[in-house]
Structure 1
Amino acid sequence: MQFTNRTLIVLMIFSIGSLFGQSKPSDLVKTFFEDFHRQDTLQLADYFVSDAVMKSISQDATGQTKISTVAIERFVQSIGSIPSNRKFEEKILAYEVQKDDLMAQVWTPYEFYVDQKLSHTGVNLFVLSKVNEEWKIVFLIDTRYR
């Protein structure tokens, strides 16, 4: 009986360890936003592959669609440069995930608040790839509506 209990305990420990080692695409996006709100620039940069692309889609005052490209380094620097007295929050409304073994996409509608006032709304689309057994952001695009 004692052998069986030890065996069960060992199996449980290995099972729990493998559960924590598994990373879901939505988990990456959730922790990305935790670090985003903490303005942790070192950690933010680590979410991306080295040649990741970031784009934003919006409309100008005349209704023309504007697509802009932002360098990942510039994005990370801009988050780090937000003054500590300025409150910002990107409130994620849902996580819609599609994935296979090497690629995933996470669609996240959001509301963005600055000093507790709604600034804009939109959708983020994270395109991820599994690199060395962990998810990394390859492409990030968002829409912005005022």
Structure 2
Amino acid sequence: MRTVLSFAFLCMTCLTVTAQGPNPSDVDSEQQIKQVIETFFDGFHKQDSTIIKSVSADQVVLQTTGRDQEGKTRFRNEEFSNFLTSICSIPDSIKFEEKLTSFSIQVDRTMANAWVGYEFWLNDTFSHCGINSFQLVNFDGDWKIIYLIDTRGKAGCMEE
């Protein structure tokens, strides 16, 4: 009986130790996912569709939501190809920057979600802020963006 209790205690101790802390592969995946998102925004700021496409799946769903001036919720879909065209056609005279303010990444096997806070600046003037919610899939070792929805607003943006 004593041997059985000792074995049970040993098993419980091992389970407790392995259950604590993130799986090292999840930590690696989180870093890879953060890098994918940073690469996406590198391409965004450089207005380079090739860079953006390098971290995106063949088909990407792109959506946005926010409130209009009357406070009504607005929601729209955008074709990814139209998004790329619009980014690449911004004139050099317009300076824009999306500053990433926070990351929260969850991973389960081949799927991940990244909740990324941002502030958007246009010609060095604050425009709006919100959250980018990225869905990613690991295609045989490469994390790719498959879905992006964002919120946009001005309220509560610059609070510390």
TM-score, with structure 2 as normaliser: 0.74
Tell whether the 8 Å contact from 1:52 to 1:72 is kept in structure 2 after alignment: yes
Percentage of identical aligned residues: 35
Q: Please say if 1:42 is aligned against 2:50.
A: yes
**Paired residue for 2:142?**
134
User: For residues 75 and 51 of structure 2, what CA distance do their matches in structure 1 show?
Assistant: 27
Residue 54 of structure 1, CA deviation: 0.5
Which residue of 113, 124, 130 corresponds with 1:122?
A: 130
Which amino acid in structure 2 is aligned with residue 144 of structure 1? R
Q: Please say if 1:52 is aligned against 2:60.
A: yes
User: For residues 74 and 56 of structure 2, what CA distance do their matches in structure 1 show?
Assistant: 24
Report 1 or 2 for greater relative contact order, CA contacts < 8 Å, sequence distance ≥ 6: 1
Q: Which has the larger radius of gyration?
A: 2
User: For residues 26 and 69 of structure 1, what CA distance do their matches in structure 2 show?
Assistant: 24
35-44 or 122-131: bigger deviation: 35-44
Which amino acid in structure 2 is aligned with residue 126 of structure 1? F
CA offsets 1:48-105 (integer angstroms, 9 cap, x no match): 2222201000111111101110111011111001111211000000111101220111
Structure 2 unmatched ranges of 5 or more: 1-28, 155-160
Residues 76-87 of structure 1: matches in 2 within 5 Å? 76-87=84-95
Residue 35 of structure 1, CA deviation: 1.2
Tell whether the 8 Å contact from 1:125 to 1:142 is kept in structure 2 after alignment: yes
Tell whether the 8 Å contact from 2:65 to 2:151 is kept in structure 1 after alignment: yes
Structure 1 unmatched ranges of 5 or more: 1-21
CA offsets 1:93-146 (integer angstroms, 9 cap, x no match): 011110122011111111000000001010000000001310111110000003
Q: Please say if 1:90 is aligned against 2:115.
A: no
Paired residue secondary structure (2:120): strand
